[in-house]
Structure 1
């Protein structure tokens, strides 16, 4: 059964704007992109009309296009969240694969006309925000968000049609203060393998239907109830850096941390400087803010690794919380 919805209450209702076609939609955060790294924004019509679709080399049959992935997700979301407001997709792409039509094969690159060029992006991530379903944690408005990743580098293009295609799908919340995504394990399909759009729809529908948004919100709210001192933060960050260099056998005994040095450096910097999630004057910082420092640092991650690190951030923060509560031991902080 689908979980009951958390609806917008009057005091947390998002601002409304009227678009040029007289449709009313909620205003979304435009302060920063949900992922940065080496991505660029793309609109759905561009994916549909201007990008070529990769094919299987052995039979020239097309893979499921990124545009079809987005449309299929929209259809599943509209079914599960019937009557809710679902915004147009926000899309980011990276790793362009450029080409040219046969007639232009001998032209210098600087003389190619637009119609002689071909293009598709190897990696694409998108979000569908549902602004009619929100909640607030520690003054931050969270909006229910659905999305996915299509990275053609994960597919075996040197095959025939019918080989499994790989998709990543998620449902969670978008922190509108900073556009940080909050995703946990029950809202994430790390490798949905399908070979037809109908199977893709079924997988997405099952994920959306089984996701427990109440439990997710409760887990995030609990992070606001625990703080760590500056000394604990320093030890935690130091152990995070040490983890990457541990012997393999020791690593196996410790919960995984998927963040590298560049992300951890960003966490350290933002501990002092982030306008929304920095430390208090006494150096203490809540686990909720620490979690958001992790999800903020994740924006520098490439598309195909982004969701795995996002889920890892939630698991890691909850692990530290359990250690502070005395429920378990953690190599990172005990």
Structure 2
């Protein structure tokens, strides 16, 4: 399978393979699960109300506008590429009713009398014609973001700005895991207008180093840990959260909680694509994918931070294995 480098409008390079055609579809499982619900863009645009700032009654930027702006930028920068419709996941519904129905019993409400919006929303736009292969896994370029209204101060005024999270990275088609690194992630984007949001998203995509990201992930296939090292690693990951604050500051962070680490341990034995070898060894690439797979149970507002942390953590372990660094996690 031959990869070809091409120039795009953002003056970055990407890996593409035209022989794969344009009818490639993602795996059926969701990129995030937790307590989320799949939503169509039309429903988000037409049926959901938009919250406002209490002090001036000005509306926040809608989740559907956020998605549409991102779609427009991706269509411009990746003109000629296949871009799939957005995958949208929402959680934490906020329900209400119109004033005319304020005294009605809930079981007598008509549909038009109900109001709804979701406090947290995450979406992903796949570009399956921009693709690379790592260890037999197909990776599609993916752009997306998070809008979580719980991060905004709705009791203030609009001028304070709104919080967004935006990313560009890859989705592993074996498992729909999202693979994101620091230079493809805006964790704390704060804007007060659609123009500012547009500029920030375009700037992120234009500055993203796609090739470096792929090289970093591909390098993980060259290193493995033993079963004993895996056991110590997992134990130290659990210990990290209980360390005194002073000690924590000296150690690379591990953002995954006990439930995600339990999933990693279980999948080390059972996952069909990323489980250990017969002798107990597991490559850092597979270990990294066990982390990103376990991340699917994370709530939307923490999901991307843990996704970035997974690659940083695996790279830190890689540095320890090749003698470049030391690692508290490996002892």
Q: Do these two structures clear the TM 0.5 threshold for a shared fold by scoring above it?
A: yes
**Which runs of 5 or more structure 2 residues have no equivalent in the other structure?**
1-9
Matches within 5 A, 1:240-259: 240-259=237-256
Q: Distance in 2 between matches of 1:163 and 1:65?
A: 16
Matches within 5 A, 1:72-91: 72-91=69-88
Q: Could you tell me whether the CA contact under 8 Å between 1:14 and 1:131 is conserved in 2?
A: no
TM-score of the superposed pair, with normalisation by structure 1? 0.95
Please, what is the CA RMSD of the aligned residues?
A: 0.9
SS in 2 for 1:224: helix
Equivalent residue for 2:135, pick from 135, 138, 148: 138
Is residue 2:288 matched to residue 1:304?
Answer: no
Question: Displacement, 1:161?
Answer: 2.2
Is residue 2:320 matched to residue 1:323?
Answer: yes
Question: Displacement, 1:112?
Answer: 0.9
Equivalent residue for 1:286, pick from 277, 283, 286: 283
Q: Distance in 1 between matches of 2:179 and 2:21?
A: 19
Q: Distance in 2 between matches of 1:27 and 1:241?
A: 37
Matched with 1:5 is: 14
Matched with 1:182 is: 179
Matched with 2:55 is: 58
SS in 2 for 1:193: strand
Matched with 1:264 is: 261
Q: Distance in 2 between matches of 1:328 and 1:134?
A: 32
1:181 and 1:14, CA in 2 relative to 1: closer, same or farther beyond 3 A? farther
Query: Which piece of structure 1 moves more, 178-187 or 53-62?
Result: 53-62
Runs of 4+ residues deviating >2 angstroms: none
Question: Displacement, 1:2?
Answer: 2.5
Q: Could you tell me whether the CA contact under 8 Å between 2:217 and 2:285 is conserved in 1?
A: yes
Matched with 2:4 is: none
Q: Could you tell me whether the CA contact under 8 Å between 2:131 and 2:141 is conserved in 1?
A: yes
Matches within 5 A, 1:100-119: 100-119=97-116
Is residue 2:323 matched to residue 1:314?
Answer: no
Question: Displacement, 1:52?
Answer: 0.1
Equivalent residue for 2:157, pick from 155, 160, 165: 160
1:9 and 1:221, CA in 2 relative to 1: closer, same or farther beyond 3 A? farther
Question: Displacement, 1:9?
Answer: 4.9
Question: Displacement, 1:160?
Answer: 1.8
Q: Could you tell me whether the CA contact under 8 Å between 1:38 and 1:94 is conserved in 2?
A: yes
Matched with 2:35 is: 38
Equivalent residue for 1:197, pick from 194, 197, 218: 194
Q: Distance in 2 between matches of 1:211 and 1:2?
A: 10
TM-score of the superposed pair, with normalisation by structure 2? 0.96
Q: Distance in 2 between matches of 1:108 and 1:74?
A: 41
- Paired residues, number: 322
Q: Distance in 1 between matches of 2:85 and 2:267?
A: 31
Q: Could you tell me whether the CA contact under 8 Å between 1:14 and 1:27 is conserved in 2?
A: no
Q: Could you tell me whether the CA contact under 8 Å between 1:170 and 1:183 is conserved in 2?
A: yes
Equivalent residue for 2:205, pick from 204, 208, 230: 208
Matched with 1:27 is: 25
Q: Distance in 2 between matches of 1:232 and 1:96?
A: 42
Matched with 2:89 is: 92
**Which runs of 5 or more structure 1 residues have no equivalent in the other structure?**
17-25
Q: Could you tell me whether the CA contact under 8 Å between 2:26 and 2:176 is conserved in 1?
A: no
SS in 1 for 2:169: strand
Q: Could you tell me whether the CA contact under 8 Å between 2:224 and 2:284 is conserved in 1?
A: yes
Query: Which piece of structure 1 moves more, 70-79 or 146-155?
Result: 70-79
Is residue 2:202 matched to residue 1:230?
Answer: no
